Amino acid sequence: MSQAIATLKLWYSLPNREPTITNPTGVAFSDVFATMLQQGRVRERRHEGTDSFLTLGAWRNLMDRMMACPPGKSPLSITGERTSSLYIHDAFTYVNGWAFIQTYEGYVGLGPPDAKDGDLLCIFLGCASPVLIRESSPGGHFRVIGPCYVYGLHDAIGILGPFPEPWHGKLENRPGTRTRLVYHNNDTGEYTYDDPRLGSLGDWERIEHETEHDDPEIFEYFRNKTTGEVMNSDPRMLPDALKARGVNLTTFVLG
């Protein structure tokens, strides 16, 4: 446990060793780091919050106590309450077997343990998380190193850009382990399932549909009002639609 604390302290210090790299999210690094240690599992990220997650402020304070733990003393013994100890235990579970990664743009997160300088962090359409890949041959073939958790690239921000103020995204539980995005207006309290960054659905409409075994982790169903076609992803996120919006897409050959 003491070695794990030392590792976390090292991770926390790494971005500060390169003063030319700035945090592109504009969020305090302490909040970014605390959220990263829980891989986004904080109450503010949930629609109609649940007690199964700590608030970001409560978890950040707990993280500060954990990082201040004296050498040789277990952080599980300094919290004074069983619930806090469970969150600390979960944090170590989430980071076990991961490496701290930082992009040249300043994004930070958790990646595969064999991540190395020069790997590419990609946001593949249809994937629930960014993926680290590495060139495997001079011909432009790449192999997958593994998934990542990177703060600031959630909710398709890496593709569509940040939410316009005062909107932000939250996750709503669906049957099983799946979720869907809900968009909240911080000023009015309004929420909607329509992404404020996207335009009209046009010929498509959102429909309720039972979860199927091959549905992605985050999904919704849409139906074309003209053809009757049904799909489990937003048609406005198809490659041609994104290209029409000016999104620069790249095709990778994996293998």
Note the pLDDT tens digit of each residue in 229-239: 999 989 999 99
What residues have CB less than 8 Å from 122, skipping those under 6 apart? 130, 131, 132, 133, 252
Is residue 103 a contact partner of residue 111, using CB atoms and an 8 Å limit? no
Band (pLDDT 50/70/90 cuts) for residue 8 is confident
Band (pLDDT 50/70/90 cuts) for residue 246 is very high
Note the pLDDT tens digit of each residue in 113-160: 999 999 999 999 988 899 999 998 877 799 999 999 999 999 999 999
- DSSP β-bridge partners for residue 144: 133
Higher pLDDT, 25 or 77: 25
Question: In this structure, what is the dihedral angle of CA atoms 203, 223, 241, 124, given to the nearest 10 degrees?
Answer: 170
- pLDDT, position 150: 95
- pLDDT, position 10: 86
Half-sphere exposure of 234 (CA within 13 A, CB side): 18
Note the pLDDT tens digit of each residue in 74-125: 665 555 555 566 777 777 777 788 999 999 888 999 999 999 999 999 999 9
Nearest CA-CA partner of 133 in 226, 32, 255? 255
Note the pLDDT tens digit of each residue in 173-203: 876 667 888 999 999 999 999 999 998 999 9
Please tell me the distance from the alpha carbon of residue 185 to that of residue 106, in angstroms, as a whole number.
Answer: 27
Domain boundaries, the chain: 2-111, 157-244
